[in-house]
Amino acid sequence: MSYQALARKWRPRRFADMVGQEHVRRALTNALASDRLHHAYLFTGTRGVGKTTVARLFAKALNCEQGVSVEPCGECPACTAIDGGRFMDLIEVDAASRTGVDDTRDLLENVQYAPTQGRYKVYLIDEVHMFSKSSFNALLKTLEEPPPHIKFLLATTDPQKIPATILSRCLQFNLRALTPEQVGGQLTRVLLAEQIAPDAAAVELLARAAAGSMRDALSLLDQALAHGGGQLHADAVRAMLGTLDRSHSVRLLNALADGDGPALLAALAETNAQAADPAAVLDDLLRLLHQVALCQAVPGASLAADADPVVVNALADRIAAEDVQLYYQMALIGRRDLPLAPDPASGLEMLLLRLLVFRPDGGDDAPARRSEPHKATQTAPPASRAAPVSTAPPTTVQTSGTAEIPTARPVPAASAAIDRPEQPAAPTAIRQPTAALDDWATLASQLGLRGAANQLAQHCVLLRRRDNHFELAVDARSRSLLTPATRQALTEALSGLIGQPARVDFSDQAAAADTPAQQSARAAAERQTQARSTLEGDPLVRGLMDTLDARIIDGSEAAAD
């Protein structure tokens, strides 16, 4: 007997044999059990998830000689004919090859006739979205008033192209892509049934490469068995798929953790020497970072089958968690932008250099997380401190017929720093007058906060102050802004502003005064009203309004102001 491909040999023969798609299986079996059968069903989903298989199982359940049931016998002539693809009352059509309206009319001209073999005449139309507009119109009339012995089973990978008039007359079922765990479990069962020893790492590689398609996974398994001489090994699968083992990504990540540029380029050269796909190399690096982050966040969590727990745990102890998160995010964005590079290899190299150079810096007081031999020198101080104000005597510029005009003689910052002895830095904190400390709107504008912390300051009201102790009331609609991070940021900014440690308490008490945000909104509204009044009083504007029946557009007053 000739060899039969695994994708055909292991196609489900019963609803119970299906992998995943429980929501579709439950709905169809309940409909069969209660005899609540619709005349048209639409199955959508990506390739290889079981759309045609579900339709054939449903046709078998409808036409089994034992009666309409959830579990067809699988042995009667109707069941065996459907499994063999020779059942006369199951008309399978590939819409991609029969897109014309004449083809559709020829297909539907026998709808009125009763089935010859089975209980129902079932039309299974695959890739129905390929029909032309005229073909859909021809199909629509039959879907509106179908004979009782007709069932339509439509399958498509692109339901957006199907007219709404067709969709509204069908029961729609979306078949989801299978998870790698579901695909891997089915591949393991197939291997055991075929008496082939399953390799966990090889099965996981195939399950990931299938991208949610069981048919693709079985086809890849067929190819892997042929490549390995009837055996399944991870190395053979990697060679077939053009992927590398995990050691390459481990070397890349170790070089990044060491900040070792030469070692990073050497590890990348090894991958290039094996003609590895840069996108696949980056995918492996992302998977390794995911395993490391998982180990850090949930110690003892189960890792991937091809991951070495010793290596992953060592990397988790060596690299800070925030660095792992940053690496993953940057690599993920780089994976998206990889096709935009002049060539994928240079794009991967540039991404790795970006990971090497850009790292979070915890400041001078942060503990050293790793060695950084290539780290740049400390950033120069701001220009306001690096270039002190010149104290040189003024010079004058003589102009013809006029008096001499005194001007300041500029002194370069570098020479000023050399010629003058170093002066102690002025304190950055400014002691506010007591009266100013009671004006919260003024204080909030001087805090220099950003983001959520600034929003919190703008939506507070000062209830009372005792020396450096501030009690603030938060606007009821803005209490979600009050978090430990925003509380700490506001307290630190206020301490720096008044020149001594501040204590800030937040109260739910309702405040009689307006918050700085409300004061700012009221002032803006007053300015807009004043600007509108000015515009309306302008003679030119009044003339345009009277002559041309013009009007002032709301919001345009700000531009005029």
Lowest mean pLDDT among 85-89, 267-271, 415-419, 544-548: 415-419
Pairing of strands 460-466, 405-407: unpaired
For residue 350, the model assigns a pLDDT of 93
For residue 430, the model assigns a pLDDT of 54
Q: Which CATH number fits domain 180-241: 1.10.8.60, 3.40.640.10, 1.10.10.10, 2.40.50.100?
A: 1.10.8.60
| 382 pLDDT above the threshold of 70 | no
Tell me how many degrees the CA angle 461-464-469 measures, rounded to the nearest 5. 105
Work out the pLDDT band at 361, boundaries 50, 70, 90: low
What number is the average pLDDT over the span 59-69? 88
Neighbouring CB atoms inside 10 A of 356's CB total: 17
Percent of the chain with pLDDT over 90: 24
Of the ranges 63-77, 361-375, 543-557, which is most confident? 63-77
**CA nearest to 62, candidates 125, 191, 153, 139:** 153
Residue 477 corresponds to which amino acid?
R
What number is the average pLDDT over the span 201-207? 88
With residue 31 as reference, give the H or E element that holds it.
helix 22-34
For residues 189 and 155, what is the distance between their CA atoms, to the nearest angstrom? 28
| 377 pLDDT above the threshold of 50 | no
User: What is the SS3 assignment for 93?
Assistant: strand
For residue 509, the 8-state DSSP code is P
The CATH architecture that domain 6-174 belongs to is: 3-Layer(aba) Sandwich (3.40)
Given CATH 1.10.287.110, say whether it is the number of domain 246-357.
Answer: no
Average confidence score pLDDT of the chain? 81
Cα–Cα distances in angstroms (integers) from residue 246 to residues 291, 309, 317, 425, 484, in the given order: 12, 12, 18, 53, 41
Neighbouring CB atoms inside 10 A of 126's CB total: 20
| 223 pLDDT above the threshold of 50 | yes
For residues 63 and 160, what is the distance between their CA atoms, to the nearest angstrom? 31
For residues 92 and 328, what is the distance between their CA atoms, to the nearest angstrom? 47
The CATH architecture that domain 434-513 belongs to is: 2-Layer Sandwich (3.30)
Work out the pLDDT band at 406, boundaries 50, 70, 90: very low
For residues 420 and 43, what is the distance between their CA atoms, to the nearest angstrom? 82
| 364 pLDDT above the threshold of 80 | no
Question: Going by C-beta distance under 8 Å and a sequence separation of 6 or more, which residues neighbour residue 156?
Answer: 42, 43, 44, 51, 126, 127, 128, 129, 162
What number is the average pLDDT over the span 205-215? 88
Neighbouring CB atoms inside 10 A of 124's CB total: 23
**Prediction pTM value:** 0.55
Domain ranges of the chain: 6-174, 180-241, 246-357, 434-513, 524-560
Q: Bigger pLDDT: 496 or 418?
A: 496
